[in-house]
Amino acid sequence: MKTAKKQIFVHIGMPKSASTYLQTQFFPFLDNMYYVGSNKYSSDPVMQLLQQIGLYRLGKLEVFEYNEIKSKIHNFLSVIKEQNIVLSLEGLAGSRVTDKNIDNFSIFKTCLKNIFHQAKIIFITRRQDTFFESLYTQRLKKGYYYDINTFINYRNKVFCKKKSVENDMYFDIGNNNIDVFSCNYFDIYNHYAKNFGESNILVVPFELLIEDKQLFLKTISAFMGSSLLKEQLNISISKLNVNASYSKYSSQLAKMMNCIGVNMLKIILPHPKLLKKFMQYKTNGLIMFDKLLIKKGLYVKPRWLSQDMRAEILKIHRRSNKCLNDKVKFDLSKYGYF
């Protein structure tokens, strides 16, 4: 096949684990690399495939439609000048925590294996307790206003399996709550290892980026056989706070504004565009507020989980995190995974 000489890299997430940072400050600047990312609007067939994945339509495609997409992708890749291609979509981790239908995970794997059978996988993990906190704060940006216990299904001091609740979002961003038990990184690793081989998977903890930005980027670029220009590496290191979470104070304001503002607008002016515009103004205002807090040295990260909740989450995933540790080059215990 014409694309046999092309090397495909697929960055699968996790969400809230430097995805935006890699998509904006790293992947586009790698040498001899064609980048396709979730935040890049393009008419090329690879991007169209990612859009199909992001909208969960692959399982609904007819065989001829799927084959047509596959053919267009291979024809496209055969003529681009770059020898390496990187796809980045954090939902490819399976969205096993936040999506309505985790069966999509099997569709993702099957699709990638059939189209990019020699792909190499980049998997960024984040310790589960801080991942849930960051994800919750991110949801506040998008209209969520329930408390943290509802979000992570914590009832009567016990974590419960995922239970769907009415979607109160002004636009669909998935279910309002998550399944703490499903955030099993070793399970995700095994699914991809089975399809692409263990030697073709790079697992890097998000915590390494916080500890040593340069080593984090060089580890990924070495796996990809590419590199950044020295000056671009310095720029990428300096621009770490991309898509940063709300501060503690902005988060509380967002939750209050979401609850009052969104519900009032839904009753008085039930128009999706107006609701969306309201949320955009709210988000921009709170981002400006956080910039002021940073300037004044008053920025504080939100901490939603109690020590008991944090300990229980890590207890749930201790065994699987230990198993993953045996497969990666970094000591995950150093970052508190177990």
DSSP letter assigned to residue 246: P
Is 93 inside any structural domain? yes
- The percent of residues above 90 in pLDDT, for the chain, comes to 34
Strands 7-11, 154-155: pairing kind: unpaired
Q: Give me the number of domains the chain comprises.
A: 2
**Same-domain status, 193 and 284:** no
Please state, in angstroms and rounded to a whole number, the distance separating the CA atoms of residues 277 and 256: 17
The domain of 267 spans 248-295
Please write the tens of the pLDDT for every residue from 201-236: 999 999 999 999 999 999 999 999 988 766 666 666
Average pLDDT, stretch 116-124?
91
**332 Cβ contact list (under 8 Å, min separation 6):** 125, 205, 321, 324, 325, 338
Is 219 inside any structural domain? yes
Q: Which residues of 243-279 are buried (b: 16+ CB within 10 A; e: fewer)?
A: ebbbbbbbbebbbebbeebbeebeeeeeeeeebeebb
Is 259 inside any structural domain? yes
**Same-domain status, 238 and 286:** no
The answer to whether residue 56 scores a pLDDT higher than 60 is no
Strand partners, 9: 86, 120
Q: CA angle, 20 as apex, 337 and 298 as ends, to 5°?
A: 75
Supply the pLDDT for residue 235: 62
CATH, residue 201: 3.40.50.300
**Same-domain status, 185 and 267:** no
